[in-house]
Structure 1
Amino acid sequence: MGMISEFKEFISRGNVVDLAVGVVIGAAFGKIVTSLVDGIVMPAVGAFTKGASVTDWKYVLKPAQLDSAGKEVAAELAIKYGLFIQTIIDFLLIALVIFLVLKAYNRLRAPAATPAVPEDVLLLREIRDSLKK
C-alpha cells in the first residue's frame, strides 16, 4: 500500500474530518467569547474598579527611566497580572458556555433505540426462568 493511498484512507476516516470541523468551530467560538469578555464582562468589572481596566493592572518592579527631556530611556519592568486574570476569565467563560451547549445538545439528542431481542434469546430466557422455579 502506497503512502498516498494510506494518507487518503487516513483522511477519509470520519474522526479526522470531525476533529478538523471541531477545531475550526472552536476557534471561531473562542473569538465570540473573547468578544463577550472584552466588550461586556470586563467593562462591567471596570465599573466596579472605578474605570480601571483589568488588563492594566500590574505590579511595577522598576519604573520607566526618563531623560531630562521627558523621553523614555528604559521601559518599566512590571508584572502584568491583570492580563493573566482576564485570560483566566476568558477560559472559564468558554468552558462554561461549551458545557452548557453540550448539556443542551445531549438533552435534545434522541435516545438510542434499544435493539430488539432475538426470539431465540427470549426463548432461552423463558427456559432459564422456568428452570429456576
Structure 2
Amino acid sequence: MKFFKEFKEFAVKGNMMDMAIGIIVGAAFNKVIDVLVKKVFMPPLSLMTNGLNYQDKKYVIRDAISNSNGEITVQEVAIEYGVLFETFLDFIIIGLTVFLVVKGMNRLRDKAQDPKNEIVATPKDIELLSHLTELMEEQNALLRNK
C-alpha cells in the first residue's frame, strides 16, 4: 500500500509528466541526430575517403557457408565496426548538443539569480535572500565600529 501512495505522490507532483515529456522529446531528438549523422555528416566524410561507406565496414571472423544450391547454411560472423563508428559519432553530437543547451540554460539561470542584474527579473526568494544578506552585512559593520 505504501508503494501506491508514494507513486500517487510522485505522479501528482508533476514529476511523471516531466519525465514523460523528457522521454518524448528525447526520442524525437534521437531521430534528428540519427538523420543528421547518416544524411549530413557521413556523406561528406564518405566523399573525402573516396566513397567509403562506414556503415558497411566490418571485420569478418567467419565467412558464410553456402550449399550447392547457393543457399546460405551457416551465417557470416563479423564485427561491424562501421556501425560502431556511426554510433560514436551520434554520441559525440548528442553530448555536444546537450552540453551547449545546459551551458545556455545555466547562463540564463545565473543571470536570473543575480539580484544586481537589472535586465532579467530576479525571483522573489533570491531577491529577499539578497536583501537579508545586505542587511546582515550592514549590521555586522555597525557592530564592529562600536
Instruction: Give the match for residue 43 of structure 1.
Output: 43
What secondary structure sits across from 1:11 in the alignment? helix
* Structure 1 residues 2-41: aligned runs within 5 Å: 7-41=7-41
User: Identity across aligned pairs (percent)?
Assistant: 38
Is 1:55 paired with 2:67?
no
CA RMSD of aligned residues (A): 2.6
Instruction: Give the match for residue 144 of structure 2.
Output: 132
- The worse-fitting range, judged by mean Cα deviation, of 85-94 and 40-49 is 40-49
Q: Size of the alignment, in residue pairs?
A: 130
Structure 1 position 107, deviation (Å): 3.2
- Name the amino acid aligned to 1:90: D
**Unaligned runs of at least 5 residues, structure 2:** 114-121
Instruction: Give the match for residue 86 of structure 1.
Output: 86
1-side partners of 2:22 and 2:141: how far apart? Answer: 49
Instruction: Give the match for residue 111 of structure 1.
Output: 112
What secondary structure sits across from 2:104 in the alignment? helix
Structure 1 position 18, deviation (Å): 1.5
- Name the amino acid aligned to 2:55: T
2-side partners of 1:107 and 1:85: how far apart? Answer: 33
Tell me: CA distance 1:3–1:131, structure 2 relative to 1, closer, same or farther (3 Å): closer
2-side partners of 1:127 and 1:67: how far apart? Answer: 93
- Name the amino acid aligned to 2:90: D
TM-score (norm: length of structure 1): 0.78
What secondary structure sits across from 1:115 in the alignment? helix
